[in-house]
Amino acid sequence: MTKYLYRYRSLNNLFIFQELENLEIYFAKPDELNDQMEDYMNIFWQGDEIAFRGLFKHYLYVLSSVYYDIHFRNREKKIDPNYLPVFLASDVSDKLEMKTTFKSIYYEFFNCLDIYNVPIKLAESCKKYSIDEILLILTKLHKFAYLVIDAEFKKFDKNIDRVKDSEYKEIYESLKYCNEYSNLIDLINKSDKKEILNLIYRLELEQEQTKKYLNKEYKDKDTYNIDLIYFEFPKVYIKNIKKILYNNFCVACFTNSFQNEPMWSNYANSENGICLIYKTKEFNGKKCLTLYSACGDIKSNKIYKAFCERKILEVKYANTYPEVNFFASLGGLPKKIIEDFWLCNFDKTRYSNCLKKYENHSEWYYEYHKKAEDYICTKSKNWEYEQEQRIILKDLIYPAYEKEENRKVNYKIEDLQGLIFGRKVSLEDKRKIIKIMLNHCNNKKNFNFYDLYYSTITNQLELKPCSEYLLY
């Protein structure tokens, strides 16, 4: 077990963001990192009929809630696509219109025989359905789902009679009595990947054409909410429901070597930067770094900062990403909501077999968090050269993800073992950095500064004591 961690930094991080002056490590959100797959979760859906019906019930609920928001509660407000009510917001569901209408929406939606059979077919196949496959199914069902919701809520508007609207009725019934939904499941189950990809493309093209037409019709109006709820909603929904699986997280990235030339290039401005050397310790059999970071007290629900040991995790490099079973990973929800909404029928008289996974809670909890670490710390083999190690902050009680100040954590000066200057760092910048560190050490020369150089004897990057520091 290596005793040291290395962290490459540019001079901007030191001088503009004052990371060295503050003895600070910044924890980045996944979308701030350079791997575009950081936020990717390899989710699959596999379950019985009740579990799949619960998925569509939830989709209808969230779509109904957003529709209600747009047309009844906040007509002028733009819907934030990052914050759909996937946690079953009570401020919407307690409204009379939602209480009296959602049951009608649910039963009318499944009154379409072909749609009623979709959860049955999905369950009978015993197949693991991927994100793109579930998204394709939701996209296909979305138009009818929207029209059902629209028709039910429009009953509150006495000026609209959808029953007498012949054009609307024709479209409604053509969607209700078609057999395209079951045919789609058959197509997906054949595993003809090329055909599925072509179908996804055709649906996207069809949507874009319809959107273009509608935007012409509403050229004098703001179509933001219309576009989101009518065209973008399936994609936005899939993105949002990841939140009910695992909490948001942010990471600080390290490596186990100072001799990594691509790392100097990518993260230390082509050697016009530095590499920090941290000394680690062992705690409960795990390699750790002591950090002053946001913590949460469960009993008081208060946030405070304190020094604590943060586990260092080694990144694994693979050709595939760890799988996450959706119906067995609903960890962001109270167990009662899992039982009473997600994994039961509408009348709560039948329950999904997927509930068995949650029975031994301590065993499930351990496995659940182990999978979280696995998916956060797995990257493509293309990044293997980085030899990366990570510390993770997950949103549990304290909102590390949302609040930037909670993503900045401090360390002890004694845990910073040394600092390596890249070969392109100017003497002036070296002096500035040396001065910062001497201030931390009360002007005592007891800190290790090194210069990086390439040795033709070892044919690799090596270290020597920093001559500028020795003469300072």
**d(C-alpha 20, C-alpha 463), whole Å:** 21
pLDDT at 225 over 90: no
**d(C-alpha 98, C-alpha 332), whole Å:** 24
- Do 306 and 178 lie in one domain? The reply is no
| 328 inside domain | no
pTM, entire model: 0.85
Give which of 122, 50, 106 is closest to 350, Cα–Cα: 50
Boundary (domain end) residue, out of 215, 242, 269: 242
Amino acid at 274: I
- Do 286 and 301 lie in one domain? The reply is yes
pLDDT band at residue 177 using 50, 70 and 90 as cut-offs: confident
- Do 160 and 14 lie in one domain? The reply is no
| 367 inside domain | no
pLDDT at 298 over 60: no
- Do 211 and 305 lie in one domain? The reply is no
- Do 21 and 55 lie in one domain? The reply is no
Give the pLDDT score at 159: 57
- Do 59 and 126 lie in one domain? The reply is yes
| 18 inside domain | yes
**d(C-alpha 273, C-alpha 265), whole Å:** 9
Give the pLDDT score at 287: 92
Q: How many domains does the chain have?
A: 2
Q: Using the CB atoms, write b or e for 253-281: b if 16+ within 10 Å.
A: bbbeebbbeebbeebbbebbbbbbbbebe
Q: What distance separates the 2 farthest-apart alpha carbons in the chain? A: 91
Give which of 76, 73, 80, 74 is closest to 97, Cα–Cα: 73
Average pLDDT rounded to a whole number, residues 446-464: 94
Boundary (domain end) residue, out of 242, 258, 287: 242
- Do 201 and 304 lie in one domain? The reply is no
Share of the chain above pLDDT 90, in %: 56
**d(C-alpha 462, C-alpha 460), whole Å:** 6
Average pLDDT, the chain: 87
- Do 235 and 251 lie in one domain? The reply is no
Give the pLDDT score at 436: 94
pLDDT tens readout for residues 384-421:
999 999 999 887 555 556 778 888 999 999 999 999 99
pLDDT tens readout for residues 85-141:
998 755 545 666 667 789 899 999 999 999 999 999 999 999 999 999 999 999 999
| 357 inside domain | no
Domain region containing 283: 4-38+246-315+377-465
Amino acid at 206: E
pLDDT tens readout for residues 25-69:
999 999 898 888 888 899 999 999 999 999 999 999 999 999 988
Average pLDDT rounded to a whole number, residues 269-274: 96
- Do 61 and 164 lie in one domain? The reply is yes
**405 Cβ neighbours under 8 A, 6+ residues apart:** none
Which stretch of DSSP H or E encloses residue 248? Answer: none
pLDDT band at residue 356 using 50, 70 and 90 as cut-offs: very high
Boundary (domain end) residue, out of 224, 242, 260: 242
Q: Compute how many other C-beta atoms are within 10 angstroms of the C-beta atom of residue 357.
A: 20
Burial class (CB in 10 A: 0-12, 13-18, 19+), 420: buried
- Do 34 and 58 lie in one domain? The reply is no
| 118 inside domain | yes
Residue 114, phi then psi, degrees to nearest 5: -65, -40
Give the pLDDT score at 211: 64
| 461 inside domain | yes
Antiparallel, parallel or unpaired: β 388-394 and 313-314:
antiparallel
- Do 392 and 304 lie in one domain? The reply is yes
**d(C-alpha 153, C-alpha 83), whole Å:** 22
